Amino acid sequence: MAGLNKEYYLMHKDIPVCLMEIDNEGNLGKVLRSEAAIAHFPVGGQMNNNKFHEWWKDRAIPKTRHGAKTALQKLGYSSTGSALVNNLALSLSDCYWICPRDERVSWADVNLFKNDFVDTFGEITINCDHVVDLRRETRFNCATSQGELQKKWCIAEDGRRYLIKGNYGDSYQQSLNEVFASTLHKQQGFERYTPYTLVRVTVDGGFEGLGCMSYDFCSEEIECISAWELLQTVKLRQNESFYYPLKEVCLGLGMPEQEFTDFIDYQIMTDYLLTNTDRHMNNIAVMRHPDTLELLGFAPIYDSGNSMFYNVPYSGLVKVRFSEIKTHSFTAKEAKLLQYVANRNLVDIEKASIDFSIYEQDVPERHMRIPKLKELYERKIEMLSVFQSGVDIWRNYRHR
């Protein structure tokens, strides 16, 4: 068993928020909080030390990420926790990091928003490069992006940071879905979404394939806090929907109620159209200013790739029953999410039709799915139209 062999300050930019012991595997020991900086302590860990330990564990790259085990071996790490510590727990989502107690290092020296880096972990797990190689060398890598898909952070020529994502299996549909969702939001005239575009990548076997990329919406002036982290600040009842506790927390942080309901209403309805079954609490976030701690509203909608029946085989598409679609969100059934919608008219049905030719860029054997996907999407538009007419379609309504 690894010993607790080093002390680190958890830093919020240049503010030390606590002193903690960390062993070689990234496990926490004693934690001594700074009362003077308690406002800057991670939101998700404020309730008690158990919550803080969970916040720290969640900061590491998931062990379930595709290719993680191989990448750890190649880079000489024994665990994702050891990789987290070696890379100073830096992230491109917020301004937290760790500083060894006996070293004089500043935020300016290490932060990934301004310093060059190469995401070596992502390089190995995604097994690809962007068509233009923009990698730059530095001792600091990015080891804290969440999610199980292969991911890789890069730096564009103009200095902006962007994330490349791959796909599960032999299909490119998750990447195509991200672009499809971007088109829907653009046509709706909705501004708070993350635009995704397609990029060429090298997939297993050395073949050219497709991934997607998006620019980082965080910076030294904007950091993100997931809905899941926000929910760690309140006591949740067993089997309770996260909707009302999340609303309570957001309003308590100063978010106007109308802003909360409008954003969630829009997101629920567009996720319904896209059959996005993965809007869990780590796929919703709020933004705040890391210096003033001012809440800046919801983060742009992101991670819509697990949609459009991406994991349903062709034979299963003809058996789809909308009333039975399961989702990871505020409820277990997709249709019941609509019960939370206050303003049913925030999505313009007339601007919901989308060209399906993008799916022709998937692998050829998936092309037979396109007419069926289009049919299912058009049925979803019809169902949302019925909902907007005043029918509570999650009740005793006959879903086709």
Taking only the tens place, the pLDDT of each residue in 192-203 is 999 999 988 776
Mean pLDDT of 137-144: 35
CB 87 within 8 A of CB 110: no
List Cα–Cα distances, 147 to 56, 272, 349, in angstroms. Answer: 15, 22, 31
Instruction: Specify the pLDDT at position 4.
Output: 54
Percent of the chain with pLDDT over 90: 71
CA distance 182 to 195: 5
Mean pLDDT lowest among 61-70, 93-102, 106-115, 352-361: 61-70
pLDDT in tens, 232-278: 999 998 889 999 999 999 999 999 999 999 999 999 999 999 999 99
pLDDT band of residue 81 (cuts 50, 70, 90) is confident
Separation CA 167–CA 346 (nearest Å): 31
Of 65-74, 156-165, 200-209, the one with minimum mean pLDDT is 65-74
Contact 323, 311 (CB under 8 A): no
Q: What is the pLDDT of residue 166?
A: 85
Task: Write the pLDDT tens digit of every residue in 364-379.
Answer: 999 999 999 999 999 9
- Across 75-84, 97-106, 137-146, least confident range: 137-146
Between CA 359 and CA 370 the distance in angstroms is 7
pLDDT of residue 109 exceeding 90, the answer is yes
Q: What torsion do the CA atoms of 85, 212, 312, 242 make, to the nearest 10 degrees?
A: 50
Question: Residues of the chain with pLDDT > 70: what percent?
Answer: 84
Bridge-based pairing state of the strands 295-298 and 285-288: antiparallel
* Residue 384 near residue 349 (C-beta atoms within 8 A): yes
- Sheet-wide strand order for 6-12: 28-33, 15-22, 6-12, 96-100
Residue 120 has pLDDT above 90, yes or no: no
How far is 286 from 125, CA to CA, in rounded Å? 28
Confidence of residue 68 (pLDDT cuts 50, 70, 90): low
Mean pLDDT (whole number) for 89-103:
94
pLDDT tens-place string over residues 330-358:
999 999 999 999 999 999 999 999 999 99
Q: Which fold has domain 223-388?
A: 1.10.1070
- pLDDT, tens digit (0-9, with 9 covering 90-100), for 279-326: 999 999 999 999 999 999 999 999 999 999 999 999 999 999 999 999
Helix %, strand %, coil % of the chain (to 5):
35, 15, 45
Helices (H) and strands (E) in the chain, counts: 11, 11
Place of tokens 């929910």: 231
**Banded pLDDT at 157 (limits 50, 70, 90):** confident
pLDDT attached to residue 205: 64
pTM of the model: 0.89
The answer to whether the beta carbons of residues 19 and 1 sit under 8 Å apart is: no
Question: What is the CB neighbour count within 10 angstroms for residue 143?
Answer: 26
Tell me: pLDDT of 178 over 60: yes
**pLDDT interval class at 154 (50, 70, 90):** confident
List the domain boundaries for the chain: 6-165, 223-388
Which one, of 83, 99, 82, lies nearest residue 23 by Cα? 82
The per-residue pLDDT of the chain, averaged, comes to 87
For residue range 3-31, list pLDDT tens digits in order: 557 999 999 999 999 999 999 888 999 99
